[in-house]
């Protein structure tokens, strides 16, 4: 036996509205939570369903003393639908006006762009110029490595890297000297550590090759 399908939110809204329309009375929330299950709306969801109706102006809500009452009359729903209808009609008229403005603008932009031999010739010439531009751009990229500006930029980058490397080399020599002065008894251990991390006897400052 297939499981009974639960009501959708819209169906629950319709069921709760029926309670209001059939009685045309005022209700407390706890009263609606008792009446809801009779229409197939479980009491736990009554509060949210009624609030959605209040948000859409289909149900009125007001506090009288310490109690909050809810009510809705068929005439209220009719007024709400008429308000929605007027708004949709206004939106439709606004959209039609905008469509006409865009249509007129399109017609204006089309003037001077009618198909003709002169226009076709101009477009063909423009396409040829764009193609030539792309070809020259590709050719320029092939010679980018020989660009004097790029060459100078690489030279400057190499000089910066060279200076940084030798600065760190100087720091390493300084640190080695400090260790030797402060821990003379650990000379062998220090030498062993230096070798392990790559600081060998031929460790020295870097020299830039002469440009030839």
CA 67 from chain centre, in angstroms, equals: 45
pTM: 0.37
* Confidence band for 28, pLDDT divided at 50, 70 and 90: very high
- End-to-end CA separation in angstroms for the chain: 92
User: What's the average model confidence in pLDDT over 6-28?
Assistant: 89
* Residue 97 burial (C-beta neighbours within 10 Å; 0-12, 13-18, 19+): exposed
* Residue 55 burial (C-beta neighbours within 10 Å; 0-12, 13-18, 19+): exposed
Q: What pLDDT is stored for residue 70 in this prediction?
A: 92
| pLDDT tens digits, one per residue of 61-85 | 898 889 999 998 776 656 566 666 6
Residue 59 in contact with residue 50, Cβ under 8 Å? yes
Q: What pLDDT is stored for residue 31 in this prediction?
A: 93
| pLDDT tens digits, one per residue of 118-167 | 778 888 888 888 888 888 888 777 766 666 666 677 777 777 777 877 78
Strand 27-28: give its sheet, edge to edge: 27-28, 67-71, 60-64
More confident residue, 51 or 83: 51
Residue 119 in contact with residue 113, Cβ under 8 Å? yes
Residue 70 in contact with residue 29, Cβ under 8 Å? yes
Among 11-20, 93-102, 108-117, 141-150, the range with the most confident prediction by mean pLDDT is 11-20
């Amino acid at each position: 036996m297939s499981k009974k399908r639960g009501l959708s939110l819209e169906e629950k809204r319709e069921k709760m509205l029926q309670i209001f329309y059939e009685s045309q009375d005022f209700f407390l929330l706890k009263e609606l939570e008792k009446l809801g299950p009779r229409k197939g709306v479980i009491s736990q969801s009554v509060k949210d369903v009624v609030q959605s109706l209040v948000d859409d102006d289909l149900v009125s809500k007001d506090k009288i003393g310490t109690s909050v009452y809810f009510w809705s009359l068929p005439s209220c729903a009719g007024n709400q639908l008429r308000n929605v209808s007027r708004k949709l009609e206004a939106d439709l008229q606004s959209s039609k006006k905008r469509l006409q403005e865009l249509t007129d603008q399109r017609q204006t932009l089309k003037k001077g762009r009618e198909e003709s031999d002169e226009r076709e010739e101009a477009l063909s010439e423009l396409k040829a110029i764009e193609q030539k531009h792309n070809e020259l751009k590709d050719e320029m990229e092939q010679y980018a490595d020989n660009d004097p500006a790029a060459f100078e930029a690489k030279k400057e980058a190499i000089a910066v890297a060279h200076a940084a490397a030798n600065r760190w080399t100087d720091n390493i020599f300084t640190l080695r000297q400090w260790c030797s002065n402060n821990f003379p008894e650990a000379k062998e251990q220090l030498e062993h550590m230096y070798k392990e991390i790559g600081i060998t006897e031929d460790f020295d400052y870097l020299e830039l090759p002469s440009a030839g």
